Each structure stands twice: as C-alpha cells, then as structure tokens.
Amino acid sequence: MLSKSQARLFFLIGTVGFSLLFLFLTVDTMRQVPKQTNQDQITEAVKRGKRIWEHNYCMGCHTIFGEGAYYAPELTKVIDRRGEAWIRVFLKDPQAMYPGQRKMTNYDFSEGQIDDLIAYFDWIGKVDLNGFPPKPVKRLVQAASSNSGSSFATTTVDQPAIYGQLCTACHSLQGSGGNVGPALDGVGNRFDEEYLGKWLKDPQAVIAGTAMPKLPLSDSDISALTAFLSGLK
C-alpha cells in the first residue's frame, strides 16, 4: 500500500506524463492535418462547391464525413462509388436516372455549379479519414465470358468505364444492375450498331417521349458503348 508521499508522487508523475503525451499527440495530429486533408488542393471551385452545399442545406438529407442526416445516401466517397459522369447527370436532373423513384429536389444547377459541386465531392473523397467510410463497392458490371454458361455470349470488346458509371444505374446485365430500363443481355441481337449509335446520341430523336434521358456522352463514349453493346448477343 502506498504512503501519502508515494501516492502524491505517483499522481504527479502520471498527470505530467499523460499531459505531455496528450500535447505530443495533439501537435502530431495538427502537423498531419494539411497532408491528410489535401489542404493544397482546396481550389476556388472546391470553396464554391462547399458554399453551394451549405446554401442548399444538403446535410439535411445527406452525410459527409459521417455528419448530416441519413435520409439520403452518404456522399463522402460518391465520386469513387458513382463516377463523375453519373453525378453530373443526376445533379442536372435527379429524375432522369430514376424516373418517379427519386425525391431529391431539382435545384436547376447551372453547368458551372455542377462543376463546383463535383470539385467539392472530389476533394472530400480524397481526404484521409483513416479508413472511414469503408471503401465503396463500385457499381460496375463485369461482362460474362462466352463460356460462363449464360444464355447470352458477350463481345470481346472491353467494357467501357462509362458503362459502369451511367448505364448500370438503369439497366442490368447478367442479372446485375438497375431495373428501371430493359436488361441489356442480348441487345446486340435486337439492334444493330447503327441503331445503337443513334439511340445513345439522342434517344428522344429515335423514340419521342422515351424515359431514357439524353446523356452527356462524347463521340468516343458513344463509339465505345456501341461496340460493346452490339457484341452482347
């Protein structure tokens, strides 16, 4: 059993020691903050995106860095999870990707505002949060090989990245993907390459009133998607 003097010494040594440890950890954490937060990558676009986020009270439905409401999806890693192309379409018109299934308000963002929000999300996603949130599962559908036992063979053309970013939100392939639009298994048997190219360029010009929106696809995106889809037979 400790005497009064020993107990006092033990208390003083413990208090000083843990205080010094706390100060060291605090200084070390502050020293790492600029690197972990990518402070040098906070551009004017990132700042404008943050102001748009705050002005529209997006945290009333969404969370970033684990803070906010849980009514709508967590957005810390949304760039990794969805990709820039999908986010751009969704912010332009939330109903376009999921007709009748989304409750998000259309804020009528301009192209510049969408660029700023994407810059903000991109910066957020690169902040080092020591493993939080868990690494998202990218919504990419891997095309099955012709010997997979499926009733549909597939093309030897590689699946374009844009397919996983946009097409899988509404369409399924080999049972994986969305169910808003028709499944794409065997689509190459139903439509030729010329038709698919016209459809991807402007769906409304092919079938007026169709639910599929006109997507922001470049000519190279359309060529890559056409080659991939036309080979799904």
Residue-wise pLDDT for 159-196, tens only, equals: 898 898 889 888 899 888 888 889 999 999 999 999 99
Q: What is the pLDDT of residue 156?
A: 64
> Per-residue pLDDT tens for 73-116?
899 999 988 888 889 988 988 877 766 666 788 999 999 999 99
Please check the confidence at residue 150 and state whether its pLDDT lies above 80: no
What is the topology classification, in CATH, of domain 161-230? Cytochrome Bc1 Complex; Chain D, domain 2 (1.10.760)
Give the phi and the psi of residue 172 in degrees, each rounded to 5: -110, 155
pLDDT category of residue 145 using cuts at 50, 70 and 90: very low
Using a pLDDT cut of 70, give the percent of the chain over it: 88
Whether the predicted pLDDT of 18 surpasses 80: yes
Average pLDDT (29-48) is: 85
Architecture of the domain spanning 39-126: Orthogonal Bundle (1.10)
Query: In sequence order, what are the residues at sequence separation of 6 or more whose Cβ sits closer than 8 angstroms to the Cβ of residue 226?
Result: 193, 196, 197, 200
Q: Between 71 and 150, whose confidence is greater?
A: 71
Q: How far apart are the first and last CA of the chain?
A: 83
Q: What angle do CA 188, 190, 194 make, to 5 degrees?
A: 65
Query: pLDDT higher for 33 or 81?
Result: 81
**pLDDT(224) > 90:** yes
pLDDT the model gives residue 211: 80
Question: Which pLDDT band holds residue 149 (cuts at 50, 70, 90)?
Answer: very low
Q: What's the CA gap between 152 and 210, in Å, rounded? A: 26
**Between β-strands 63-64 and 67-68, what pairing exists: parallel, antiparallel or unpaired?**
antiparallel
Q: Beta partners for 172?
A: 177
- Joined tokens for residue 135: 């690494």
Kindly report, as residue ranges, where domains of CATH 1.10.760.10 are found in the chain.
39-126, 161-230
* pLDDT exceeds cutoff 60 at 154: no
C-alpha separations of 123 from 20, 67, 116 in Å = 34, 16, 11
What mean pLDDT is predicted for residues 52-60? Answer: 95
In this predicted structure, the answer to whether residue 228 has a pLDDT above a threshold of 90 is: yes
Quick one: pLDDT at residue 36?
Answer: 76
What pLDDT sits at residue 82?
A: 83
pLDDT at 134: 72
